[in-house]
């Protein structure tokens, strides 16, 4: 079922997965974006959970990899039986001698999860595919579920070089690899350490993310981010789905760990508004010092309840 995972995974490379952080044993991440993987443009929102049991082994010890993927695609053509606006197809269970495994460079994160590092690894795997429900619209929508449970014997891991490995998130179709370049990712993914390699603590800290729901114009959502030593800049990006909506960032303040004799560092922040699109806004904040950065997301224009995803990247 997963044969050729490498070719499929590199068919579409996106910048968004770089936001994902490796963690030992168990992780979960959310993704959203547009795709044409189903033959027609669709908006996709989903969740992938990954587990590795145990989180660390020596070459020659067995390991288990478990993946569950659920996502909903809207605004696409779905099967609509005569007289019915919805339907269900039960999932199938298929035995497979291989599963898609990803090699992760120590100190790296989600940028390695989908970018040409996937290979078909021998295992006693059970694939869960093709489970779906659909509703006919507009908008049309289909929800798909799937994943796999791969048990790798010690005879197979004996051939693993010391390093870091992660299960590739797929339900039989590598949907995360087919999202457009503006797709968003947030969360964590599970890693397996082989031979004592540190797969997580040396990795660059991932971006901080927030997800807010807005239902009225003028509504605000406050947030705070700790600014560690050596971080002097921040990039804040808001993303939403409806082009008619509009949001902004206000009340940007830095509460420093130490205040100067006359003026707080908050008064010295350099704030620059960057790119504005129908569904996103970004700003850059300079002159940061160690402390707590606070700000508010404000709804300026709204057409019904909507969700805003905020991503903050701290830089040196």
Q: Per DSSP, what are the bridge partners of residue 291?
A: 227, 256
What's this model's pTM, rounded to 2 decimal places? 0.62
- Rounded Cα distance between 159 and 155, Å, is 7
Pairing of β 306-315 and β 291-301: unpaired
pLDDT value, residue 206:
58
Can you spell out the DSSP letters for 105-148?
A: -TT--GGGTSSS-EEEEEEEEEEEEEEEEEE-SSSPEEEEEEEE
Cβ(102)–Cβ(168) under 8 Å? yes
Residue 37 C-alpha from the chain's centroid = 18
Tokens 């540190």 belong to which residue? Answer: 198
Cβ(224)–Cβ(293) under 8 Å? yes
Predicted confidence (pLDDT) per residue in 156-171, tens digit:
999 999 999 999 998 8
Q: Which CATH class is domain 208-315?
A: mainly beta
- Rounded Cα distance between 80 and 85, Å, is 6
- Rounded Cα distance between 71 and 171, Å, is 10
Which CA distances in Å does 83 have to 86, 125, 188, 231?
A: 9, 39, 42, 60
Polymer length in residues for the chain? 316
Q: Residue 280 is encoded by which pair of tokens? A: 């996103």
Pairing of β 21-24 and β 184-194: parallel
> φ, ψ for residue 276 (rounded to 5)?
-125, 120
Cβ(140)–Cβ(74) under 8 Å? yes
pLDDT value, residue 5:
44
Q: Quick one: 167 exposed, middle or buried, by C-beta within 10 A (0-12, 13-18, 19+)?
A: buried
pLDDT value, residue 173:
79
The residue extents of the domains of the chain are: 5-194, 208-315
Pairing of β 56-57 and β 184-194: parallel
Residues of the chain below pLDDT 50: 1-15, 202-204, 260-266
112 contact partners, CB below 8 Å, separation of at least 6: 102, 103, 104, 105
Q: Residue 283 is encoded by which pair of tokens? A: 């700003």
pLDDT value, residue 266:
44
Q: Residue 291 is encoded by which pair of tokens? A: 């402390």
Q: Residue 16 is encoded by which pair of tokens? A: 């968004």
């Amino acid at each position: 079922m997963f044969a050729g995972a490498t070719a499929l995974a590199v068919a579409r490379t996106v910048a968004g997965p770089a936001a994902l952080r490796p963690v030992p044993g168990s992780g979960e991440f959310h993704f959203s974006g547009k795709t044409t993987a189903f033959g027609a443009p669709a908006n996709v929102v989903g969740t992938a959970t990954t587990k590795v049991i145990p989180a660390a082994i020596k070459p020659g010890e067995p390991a288990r990899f478990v993946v569950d993927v659920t996502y909903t695609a809207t605004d696409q053509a779905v099967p609509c039986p005569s007289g019915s606006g919805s339907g269900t197809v039960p999932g199938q269970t298929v035995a497979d001698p291989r599963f898609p495994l990803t090699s992760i460079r120590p100190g790296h994160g989600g940028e390695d999860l989908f970018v040409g590092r996937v290979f078909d690894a021998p295992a006693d795997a059970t694939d869960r595919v093709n489970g779906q429900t659909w509703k006919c619209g507009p908008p049309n929508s289909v929800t798909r579920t799937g994943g796999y449970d791969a048990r790798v014997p010690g005879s197979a891991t004996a051939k693993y070089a010391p390093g870091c490995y992660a299960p590739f998130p797929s339900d039989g179709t590598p949907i995360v690899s087919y999202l457009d370049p503006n797709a968003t990712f947030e969360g964590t993914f599970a890693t397996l350490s082989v031979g004592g390699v540190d797969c997580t603590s040396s990795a660059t800290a991932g971006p901080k993310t927030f997800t807010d729901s807005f239902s009225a114009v003028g509504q605000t959502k406050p947030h705070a981010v700790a600014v560690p030593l050596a971080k002097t800049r921040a990039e804040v990006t808001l993303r939403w789905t409806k082009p008619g909506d509009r949001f902004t960032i206000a009340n940007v303040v830095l509460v420093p760990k130490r205040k100067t004799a006359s003026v707080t560092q908050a008064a010295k922040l350099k704030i620059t508004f960057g790119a504005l699109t129908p569904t996103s806004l970004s700003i850059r904040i300079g002159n940061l010092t160690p402390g707590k950065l606070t700000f508010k997301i404000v709804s300026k224009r709204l057409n019904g309840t909507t969700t805003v995803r905020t991503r903050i990247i701290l830089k040196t």
